[in-house]
Amino acid sequence: MAELPRARSNVLTTAGLVLGAGGACLAYGAFIESRAFRLREATARCLPPGSPSLRLLHVSDLHLAAGQRHKIDWVAGLAELDPDLVINTGDNLSGPFPERVLEAYAGLLGRPGAFVFGSNDYLAPVAKNPLRYLGGSSATHPQKPVSPERHLPWRPMRDAFRDAGWVDLTNARGELEVKGVRLALRGVDDPHIELDDYAAVAGPADPAALSIGLAHAPYRRILDEMARDHVDLILSGHTHGGQVCVPGFGAVITNCDIDRARVKGLSTHSADGWTSLLHVSAGLGMSPFAPYRFACPPEATLLTLLPR
């Protein structure tokens, strides 16, 4: 049998190595890193002077699907952190499993809390070409009529959250008092599908309270409005921290119009001379049609809030 020309042989060898490495990375992201839950911890100075410290647990993007007992158990264990406040920024569902979500959060529902929902609380995800995110993924997607089978049973989950005392901030304001600290809360429905109505919650923040703003997706138009109103701390999710990151480079995409440097963790956002603290959660899950992470493990965050 004739031997292949050396140049062609080298090309085939290189291609085989690349495909092999890509397959190994995909397998690692799907079977190992996607289950490697971690707790991020950070400190934020945003409380009124003289306040006691508060421990805020931020959870987001659970995307709970069938067969995810490991995720339910890990999230249930977060109750052992004994947080003073729980913030949930949405996308809890990936299928019709509100009772499993409530099982995961059961130990946290007795804590003071607040929530907003994301698009995947309302509608089941659909298969998409992941390469589409590389071109124009920052765009919003107005909610359009969809087939009935895509609608998810989000109302029982919402009602259980409310019954537990969590404040529903869906285009709404609310208040809580935690350890003697007054919390002035505002939130919007998911900006990614253009359900947000900031005008319903707009107005200057009370400087005597800790002002907290929630939005599932951290689009700049919402961040700008909240910063202009002097909101102290803004919390979002949606980005999955980029989900697939390049070591030494970071997130390739953000799936909204926020810059890559702020795709996860604690940062700031400024508008009209005011700077708000911004925390974007990398989230605990992903779409069942893209069930992998790379250099971006799933996470929840424990923020220790201290006086300014």
Tens digit of pLDDT per residue, the chain (308 long)? 555 566 565 555 554 544 554 456 667 777 799 999 999 999 999 999 999 999 999 999 999 999 999 999 999 999 999 999 999 999 999 999 999 999 999 999 999 999 999 999 999 988 775 555 445 455 667 766 777 888 999 999 999 999 999 999 999 999 999 999 999 999 999 999 999 999 999 999 999 999 999 999 999 999 999 999 999 999 999 999 999 999 999 999 999 999 999 999 999 999 999 999 999 999 999 988 888 899 999 999 999 999 99
- Rounded to an integer, what distance in angstroms lies between the CA atom of residue 184 and that of residue 174? 6
Prediction pTM value:
0.90
CA-based nearest residue to 92, from 127, 134, 130, 122: 122
Collect all residues with Cβ–Cβ distance below 8 Å to 229 and sequence separation of at least 6.
Answer: 202, 203, 204, 205, 211
Among candidates 231, 238, 230, which has minimal Cα distance to 89? 238
Q: What pLDDT is attached to residue 85?
A: 98
Domains of the chain plus CATH, in order, are 9-307 (3.60.21.10)
Which strands sit side by side in the sheet containing 113-115, from one edge to the other?
38-47, 299-307, 54-59, 85-88, 113-115, 167-168
Closest CA to 65 of 26, 117, 104, 23: 104
Contact partners, residue 12, CB within 8 Å, separation at least 6: 4
Confidence (pLDDT) at 148: 83
